[in-house]
Amino acid sequence: MIRKNIQILRESIENKCKEIGRDPAEITLIAVSKFKPVEDILEAFNAGLTNFGENKAQELRDKAEKIIENLTWHFIGHLQTNKVKYVIKAAEFIHSVDSLKLAKEIEKKAATIGKVQKILLEINTSGEETKFGLRDKNEIYEIAEYCEKSENLDLRGLMTMAPFTDNRETIRESFLTLRKLKDEINGDGFKLEHLSMGMTNDYLIAIEEGATMLRIGTAIFGARNYT
Ligand SMILES: *Cc1c(COP(=O)(O)O)cnc(C)c1O
């Protein structure tokens, strides 16, 4: 089932890329394995996926410790400063940096293990109060400038979640906002490369708007059981 899902998803991504003239090789497919057992992760790995995303700090740590295969882990959930210690070892990327305080804690923990931590800034592009993410431009630039000077933080791009809606244009607007923000920041001398956006229900729009990292769970592993 998982193998078949991945095959269908890959074809869908490739077809979309062909349609709009993008190279599928510039898009990283991150399999969001939250709430899913290690066996499912291994099944996806055996079907060729190597990038996995988790949104709970301890769950990422536990899975990363259990699985000996060489997986690339992405932390994509809201991160409290007191839980940075759980993800710092395993996470190749932390997608959800949303405050200077958190950036400083990540820097501190990365320094203690001699690591340069790749991070993305999570941006609230929907204006929804219930969503995490940065909204204030000054704050965004403040963190970006802090990362420039830091030896242990490597700011690589931006991440967002589209609003909960069926309105395709509202979703597109959100992704477009992220892309424009990246271009604006790069226009000021930064070198951001990644746009982490697009989930099961909106990844095709995200590809059209320039996503370089897709975070997809349900389309790969099936529905999650939260109980
Ligand atoms: C759960 C989650 C996803 C994946 O969602 P699906 O709709 O299952 O593809 C992507 N990004 C974040 C931040 C998530 O928490």
d(CA 73, CA 92): 6
* 57: confidence class by pLDDT, cuts 50, 70, 90: very high
Using the atom order of ligand 1, give the atom closest to the CA of residue 221.
8
pLDDT at 225: 84
Q: For residue 14, is pLDDT > 90? A: yes
* 63: confidence class by pLDDT, cuts 50, 70, 90: very high
pLDDT digits (tens, 9 = 90+) for 203-218: 999 999 999 999 999 9
Ligand 1 neighbours, Cβ below 6 Å, are 32, 34, 55, 76-77, 161, 199-201, 215-218
Ligand 1: centre distance to CA 217 (Å): 6
Mutate which of 199, 204, 220 for ligand 1? The one with the most ligand atoms within 8 Å of its CB, which is 199
Lowest-confidence pick of 17-21, 92-96, 162-166: 162-166
Q: For residue 96, is pLDDT > 80? A: yes
Query: What percent of the chain shows pLDDT beyond 90?
Result: 94
Nearest-CA residue for atom 11 of ligand 1: 215
Q: For residue 130, is pLDDT > 90? A: no
Ligand 1: centre distance to CA 180 (Å): 23
* 38: confidence class by pLDDT, cuts 50, 70, 90: very high
The answer, as to whether pTM is greater than 0.95, is yes
d(CA 180, CA 24): 21
Rg of the chain taking only CA atoms, in angstroms:
17
Region 14-38: mean pLDDT is 98
pLDDT at 27: 98
Ligand 1: centre distance to CA 33 (Å): 9
* 129: confidence class by pLDDT, cuts 50, 70, 90: confident
Q: Based on the number of CB atoms within 10 Å of its own CB, is 111 exposed (0-12), middle (13-18) or buried (19 or more)?
A: middle
Q: Name 94's Cβ contacts closer than 8 Å, sequence gap at least 6.
A: 74, 75, 79, 87, 106, 117, 118, 119, 120
pLDDT at 128: 83
pLDDT digits (tens, 9 = 90+) for 109-125: 999 999 999 999 999 99
Ligand 1: centre distance to CA 109 (Å): 26
Domain ranges of the chain: 2-217
Q: What's the chain's average pLDDT? A: 97
- What 3 state SS string does the chain have? CHHHHHHHHHHHHHHHHHHHCCCHHHCEEEEECCCCCHHHHHHHHHCCCCEEEECCHHHHHHHHHHCCCCCEEEECCCCCHHHHHHHCCCEEEEEEECCHHHHHHHHHHHHHCCCCEEEEEEECCCCCCCCCCECCHHHHHHHHHHHHHCCCEEEEEEECCCCCCCCHHHHHHHHHHHHHHHHHHHHCCCCCCEEECCCCCCHHHHHHCCCCEEEECHHHHCCCCCC
In which residue are the tokens 């839980």 written?
A: 83
Q: For residue 224, is pLDDT > 80? A: yes
pLDDT at 127: 84
Given the candidates 2.40.37.10, 3.40.50.1000, 3.40.50.10860, 3.20.20.10, the CATH classification of the domain at 2-217 is 3.20.20.10
What 8-state DSSP symbol labels residue 71?
Answer: P
pLDDT at 219: 98
